[in-house]
Amino acid sequence: MDSLLLRPSPLPPRPFAAAAAASRRDSRVPILYSTGRACNGPSVWFSRRVQEPLRDHYFRHIDGKSTCSGRTRESTTVHASGKPLEPGHEAYDSSSIWRPMLSSLNAFYRFSRPHTVIGTALSIVSVSLLAVENLSDISPLFLTGLLEALVAALFMNVYIVGLNQVYDIEIDKVNKPTLPLASGEYSLLTGVVIVSTFAVLSFGVGWAVGSWPLFWALFVSFVLGTAYSINIPFLRWKRFAVIAALCILAVRAVIVQLAFFLHIQTFVFRRPANFSRPLIFATAFMSFFSVVIALFKDIPDIEGDRIFGIRSFSVRLGQKRVFWICVYLLEMAYTVAMVIGATSSCLWSKVITVSGHAILASILWKRAGSLDLMSKAAITSFYMFIWKLFYAEYLLIPLVR
């Protein structure tokens, strides 16, 4: 109701019964105050004795009119917080404009799988720095070439992770119910439009740049990412544990390291291809790490994978066994990295790479020993910790000399 018109009544007022009836009829009752001369009578007595004590507990503001002595006067509207507002104007919540926008951004943030976006960005920056031979190489030319590679690769990253969600809606309702497609925030059509748009944008940037190493990196990533997820005959390679791991290894360990290095080395700097010791180390180390990510990502998803026939290593071998395989593989990689660092002829590189990998290895071992493998939340948290180790490694790789 927009307003409550109170008239004198010959019957005695019943304030509490009236308040209860009003609360049943509507969740709002106007708070009426005369803005002119004082009014007397039952209506004013009712307004002050009943409406004032209840206003801060039950009601939101509305505009209303009060009739007293045959004259109509504007009421002073009172917000639920108890603060008076301007007469004749509804309260305006400025956050209502931003709330839908923030909600949309949050949904896209989750749809893009931010941990993979960060990993892609760090890896490209790291391997690009391997092509830097002296400080003068860090020029506007280098930064422009790096930015072009980043934009194209991140667009392709969104396509790959988004396509996987498009074909995994039912699985994600079990494994990852907060993702936008699984939760219903995005319709299937919305998901298809997003992944299609980002694939086109990625290839468009790659073609406009004109770098063949960059374009082939995008093309191979597109093919493997599509074959991994799309559900048509002879594809959907994620159903097969070994092939799925090889897809992730090829993209994360080989294509990212070699193609983006060659993009900077040959296209940006116009230098001959040179597969240096740091580049070989980065490719070998990230091969181990990519296998670990490929194995570990299925550990918290074992329930949904088992239901929908995804024969991951976690389904076939069990969570505990796959977990410790991942830990041992990483510890082996860190040990090899310390040996490589110790053989460096550069003292500062030797100190940083040996001590850095030793610290990461010890943190990994300590955290693995305290993990509760019966808790899905704990396993998921450890998986995110593996990605943090992944990020840290890309901070160390440019320092290998």
Residue 54's pLDDT is what? Answer: 43
3-class state of residue 311 by DSSP: strand
Tokens of 128: 């690009």
Quick one: residue 383, left, alpha or beta (phi over 0 = left, psi -120 to 50 = alpha)? alpha
Residues of the chain with CATH 1.10.357.140: 110-274
Q: What is the DSSP letter of 137?
A: G
In order along its 401 residues, the chain shows pLDDT tens digits of 444 444 444 444 444 444 444 444 444 444 433 444 444 444 434 444 444 444 444 444 444 444 444 444 444 444 444 444 444 444 556 667 888 889 999 999 999 999 999 999 999 999 999 999 888 999 999 999 999 999 999 999 999 999 999 999 999 999 999 999 999 999 999 999 999 999 999 999 999 999 999 999 999 999 999 999 999 999 999 988 889 989 999 999 899 999 999 999 999 999 999 888 889 999 999 998 999 998 998 888 888 888 888 888 888 888 899 999 999 999 999 999 999 999 988 899 999 999 999 999 999 999 999 999 889 899 999 999 999 999 999 999 999 88
110-274 CATH choice from 2.60.120.280, 1.10.10.10, 1.10.357.140, 3.40.50.20: 1.10.357.140
Contact yes or no for 317/323 (Cβ under 8 A): no
Residue 65's pLDDT is what? Answer: 42
Q: What is the DSSP letter of 74?
A: E
Q: How far is CA 149 from CA 123, 170, 260, 398, in A?
A: 11, 34, 7, 18
Residue 29's pLDDT is what? Answer: 41
Query: Which pTM value belongs to this model?
Result: 0.72
Residue 304's pLDDT is what? Answer: 83
Would the CA dihedral through 395, 398, 399, 400 be positive or negative? positive
Tokens of 281: 């180390």
3-class state of residue 78 by DSSP: strand
DSSP string, 320-334: HHHHHHHHHHHHHHH
Residue 401's pLDDT is what? Answer: 81
Distance between CA atoms of residues 74 and 64, nearest Å: 7
Tokens of 170: 């039912």
